[in-house]
Amino acid sequence: MNTDRRITLGHFRAFVAVVECGSFVAAAQRLGRTQSALTHQVRSLEDILGERLLNRSRGHFSGLTAQGMHLLPHAHRVLGSLASACRAVTKPLLSGRIRIGVMDDFRIQGLIELIANFKAIHADAELTTVSDLSAGLEARLLRGEIDIALIKQVVGPEHSPSAEALCIEQLHWVAAEGFDWRGPEQPLSLVVFHHGCVYRKLMLEHLDRLNVNWHIAYAGYSYHNVRTAIQAGLGLGLMPYGQIPVGCDIHHHLVQKFCLPTLGFSELILRMGSHSVSPVVRAFRQEMMKDLSSTC
């Protein structure tokens, strides 16, 4: 008997639910099943494959095995394809132009997959993507050149996060281990992004208010290049926590009694233009919001 013919969507739903919920109890509640029935289904999948997929400690889920990690993305794709097929039948087909703007440092692979899935349902939709810095994307939105923009905005430490924020990260002053500034008698070396970056603007505004004499040692477009320059010790930089380079330190002061101000945090925001928005743009924005909310 072929193994693949014995595996059902129910097997994949049970397996994915346990991983996403973190426990058999929570997964059973999500699927509206008893815990014993769900446990039986997961064990049935393991028996069919002849591999253990979940690690268990006293009967409780404690993580994926190596085989489970290999299977998980395939299970997600199978269930995602089923959901797409259902939407293709139950939702009206949409057509029209969708112009998307994303930041230069945005991981494009996830967006490419999202566009491919959307096109699989709405074949007549025409999607165009452009990358730019956040300030450039804001300007394009105002001019009506794009319909949707994924941007970053900086929020001060005295404010609360925006309700529309999809992802929030604390900002920090960062420099390589051993980075030294002798004080006001010499310019402070900086590593920054190019003009139009909200991080660059915030950094220079703070230093100017402190009357710090600075010079830009490196200016780049990509996170990779800016991180590399900071790691090499070229200067002080400003980074969200998740992008701090290996081997670098968070700085709260540079020389004795010279304290660096608290920076606040960075928010990821999905914005739409003020011009008339078509149904196809609204539909794609909804899919993009769901995708970003699950990955951030």
Residues 259 and 174 in one domain: yes
More confident: 133 or 293: 133
Residues 22 and 77 in one domain: yes
Q: Kindly state the percentage of the chain with pLDDT values over 70.
A: 92
Sequence-ordered list of residues with C-beta below 8 angstroms from that of 199, at least 6 positions apart, any chain: 154, 171, 192, 193, 238, 239, 266
Per-residue pLDDT, averaged over 98-111, amounts to 80
Question: pLDDT at position 192, please?
Answer: 93
148 in a domain, yes or no? no
150 in a domain, yes or no? no
Residues 180 and 136 in one domain: no
Q: What is the CA radius of gyration of the chain?
A: 24
Question: pLDDT at position 1, please?
Answer: 46
CB 282 within 8 A of CB 121: no
Verdict on whether the full-model pTM lies above 0.85: no
Per-residue pLDDT, averaged over 173-199, amounts to 85
Residues 248 and 166 in one domain: yes
71 in a domain, yes or no? yes
152 in a domain, yes or no? no
Amino acid at 19: V
Residues 83 and 102 in one domain: no
Q: Report the C-alpha gap between 126 and 123 in whole angstroms.
A: 8
Q: Report the C-alpha gap between 21 and 17 in whole angstroms.
A: 6
Question: pLDDT at position 7, please?
Answer: 86
Residues 103 and 197 in one domain: no
Please determine, for residue 160, whether its predicted confidence score (pLDDT) is greater than 80.
no
Nearest alpha carbon to residue 43 among 76, 3, 14:
14
218 in a domain, yes or no? yes
What is the span of the domain harbouring residue 250? 157-263
Q: Kindly state the percentage of the chain with pLDDT values over 90.
A: 20
CB 65 within 8 A of CB 53: yes
More confident: 248 or 107: 248
User: CA quadruple 76, 78, 83, 87: dihedral positive or negative?
Assistant: positive
Give how many domains the chain has, as a whole number: 3
Residues 280 and 249 in one domain: no
Residues 221 and 245 in one domain: yes
Question: pLDDT at position 295, please?
Answer: 60
- Chosen domain end from 87, 113, 133: 87
45 in a domain, yes or no? yes
Q: What is the CATH number of the domain that holds 231?
A: 3.40.190.10
Residues 248 and 167 in one domain: yes
More confident: 120 or 48: 48
pLDDT tens, residue by residue, 3-46: 567 888 889 999 988 888 888 888 888 888 898 888 899 999 99
Q: What is the CATH number of the domain that holds 19?
A: 1.10.10.10
Residues 178 and 202 in one domain: yes
240 in a domain, yes or no? yes
Residues 137 and 281 in one domain: yes
151 in a domain, yes or no? no
